[in-house]
Amino acid sequence: MTALLLFSALLALLEMDTTYIGQFLFSRPLVAGGILGFLTGDFLLGLQLGLFTELLYLDFMPIGGVVPPSGAISAGMGVLAVYFFGIPVYFAFFAGIVCGVIFSFIERHIRRRRVVILQSAEKEIIAGRLCAAQLIAKSLVLQYLIIFAFVLVMLTAACPVLAFISLGLPEKVHIAFKFSYFIAPWMGLAALFLSFSVKPKTD
Amino acid sequence: MKIFTSVFLRSYLLQGFWNYAQMQNVGAFFALTPALKEIYKQDEQGLRHAAARSLEAFNTNPVLSTYVLGALIGQERKIAAAPLTPSQPALPAGLPAAAPQRQDEEREYRIIRAGTANTAASLGDRLFWATLKPLSLVLCLAVLLGAQVQILHEDLPSGGAGFAAALAVFASLLLYNVPAIAARVKGLIDGLRGTEDDFYGLIKINWNRIIYFLKTLGQIFTVFVIFCGLYLRFRGADFNAELAARFALCAAFVVLSIFMKKLNIPNMFLYLGAAAFFTAASLLA
């Protein structure tokens, strides 16, 4: 349980880099997956999960108000699902993607909630009664706790269920998911090549 | 120097209170605070006005945000120096012109804020998100495949190649972060020293040329990665009907992915669709 808590805390910290602190790209799936893979004893597996996730998420760009699925959560959850519950990597990858998508909805909700907080905080800041640093610090702590809670809930509730289900699934379903996992990076590489297109868009 | 360092470090928390209404406004105010306190240390009212201005809606690319912050600090200095009284009537030729009113400088502030923020957003998103980030990914893949690490194989060989893999990740982090940190520092310096003529340093660099060069480099690396990946994946494989079928299906999904990209549909949905399709097909077969 201690390891589970520690890894959840680390993953939440990595996720903070996505938007809120630094953006040094420690949160990119490739790096987050690699770090967690290294710490869980299978660096290459973590790296592979991270790479595949990043290749799939290439189309999403965090521009303006766009909240893409969380790459750090997706890759991290995948690695931790394999490590703690022995879920086959192709199911863990799928579960990670789903977790990343779910988290993007939570993230959108948090951003909407901040608008409500801002309405009163703005006046206080201008009047000099509230420090912007305090507001940001409180927001960051809350954000961290929400991510941590999300990761923990997913790991302790959703992953054991998935592990149980995956055991009972017919072999054909395993083959289907494994094949989907195999084609994921190739689809990503095609998108990667197109992302380097130097031709201006005509639409 | 202390203020410069403080603004620079605080720019890393620009998105610390990202919200849908005013986006990065709290982060921008937080980053500007040390400079504003210095500029308005004798003027409490001026500081409040500056805070209100800084808390207006703000959205730009975080990496190039320092250009905007630098330009805004420069303009705040002009606002602080401008008189509050109405400007004097036009003076005879040869005499120094009257200082512009504070109102004029405040109007100019908003123009600079919107103009530089939009330009920095467009350039930064294209350079850092759409070019350097994927380029660092492809560099990582190139190092891994160059070191013959079977990273694209669904049955990953266990153990080994740890050094090459660590090097690949480290190289990708460096490729993104070194230019990003340099751009942040240069942005703050150029923004502070800049004028309207060089658009606060933003047009000192030929960004389009850099982006074009990096994208071309990215295409070359990607082609290398695809061929290297295919070679490593199918090297020594026993070519039979099953492998040919797998290859054909994979190729079909790659083609589909290209069409999806043209339609702006993310690959993630294609993957989820593929998982559902193969599961249904395998159960029905």
pLDDT digits 0-9 by tens, B118-138: 999 999 999 999 999 999 999
Q: Are B200 and B73 in contact (CB under 8 A)?
A: no
**Domain extents in chain B:** 2-114, 238-285
Q: Would residue A90 count as lying in a domain? A: yes
* Angle at alpha carbon of residue B89, lines to B84 and B92, rounded to 5°: 130
Of the candidates B228, B188, B186, B231, the residue with the CA atom closest to the CA atom of residue B205: B186
Q: Would residue A117 count as lying in a domain? A: no
pLDDT: which is higher, B73 or B236:
B73
Q: Which residues sit opposite B23 in a β-bridge? A: B19, B58
Residue B285 confidence class, pLDDT cut points 50, 70, 90: confident
Mean pLDDT, all residues of chain A: 91
ipTM, two decimals, is 0.90
* Cα–Cα distance for residue pair B139/A25, rounded to 1 Å: 15
**Predicted pLDDT at A161:** 92
Beta-carbon separation of A192 and B138 below 8 A:
yes
Beta-carbon separation of B275 and A94 below 8 A:
yes
**Predicted pLDDT at A203:** 45
* Cα–Cα distance for residue pair A55/A71, rounded to 1 Å: 10
**Predicted pLDDT at B85:** 57
* Cα–Cα distance for residue pair A170/A148, rounded to 1 Å: 34
List the single residue in A31, A47, A178 with the smallest CB-CB distance to B173.
A31
Q: Would residue A200 count as lying in a domain? A: no
**Predicted pLDDT at A5:** 94
* Cα–Cα distance for residue pair B78/B82, rounded to 1 Å: 6
In this predicted structure, the answer to whether residue B91 has a pLDDT above a threshold of 70 is no
Q: Count other Cβ atoms within 10 Å, centred on residue B243.
A: 12
**Predicted pLDDT at B38:** 92
* Cα–Cα distance for residue pair A8/A2, rounded to 1 Å: 10
Chain A contact for B281, CB < 8 A? yes
Structure tokens at B153: 């194989």
* Cα–Cα distance for residue pair A78/A76, rounded to 1 Å: 5
Q: Which chain B residues are Cβ-neighbours of A201 within 8 angstroms?
A: none
Residue B201 confidence class, pLDDT cut points 50, 70, 90: confident
* Cα–Cα distance for residue pair B113/B125, rounded to 1 Å: 18
Q: Would residue A201 count as lying in a domain? A: no
Residue in B closest to A24 by C-alpha:
B177
| Residues in Cβ contact with A21 at an 8 Å cutoff, skipping those fewer than 6 apart | A140, B12, B13, B16
Least confident of A148-157, B45-54, B146-155: B146-155
Of the candidates A97, A45, A90, A93, the residue with the CA atom closest to the CA atom of residue B150: A45
In this predicted structure, the answer to whether residue B99 has a pLDDT above a threshold of 80 is no
Residue B126 is classified by DSSP as: I
Q: Would residue A138 count as lying in a domain? A: no
The domain in which residue A84 lies consists of 2-111+148-195
Q: Which chain B residues are Cβ-neighbours of A55 within 8 angstroms?
A: 137, 267
* Cα–Cα distance for residue pair B34/A152, rounded to 1 Å: 38
Structure tokens at A48: 């592979």
In this predicted structure, the answer to whether residue A150 has a pLDDT above a threshold of 70 is yes
For the segment B150-163, what is each residue's pLDDT rounded down to a tens digit? 888 877 766 667 88
Beta-carbon separation of B133 and A25 below 8 A:
yes
Long-range (24+ apart) CB contacts under 8 A made by B159-163 are B159/A44, B161/A44, B162/A43, B162/A44
* Cα–Cα distance for residue pair A156/A99, rounded to 1 Å: 13
Q: Provide the number of structural domains found in chain A.
A: 1
User: In this complex, how many residue pairs, one in chain A and one in chain B, have their CB atoms less than 8 Å apart?
Assistant: 246
In this predicted structure, the answer to whether residue A50 has a pLDDT above a threshold of 80 is yes
Beta-carbon separation of A59 and B17 below 8 A:
no
Residue B179 confidence class, pLDDT cut points 50, 70, 90: very high
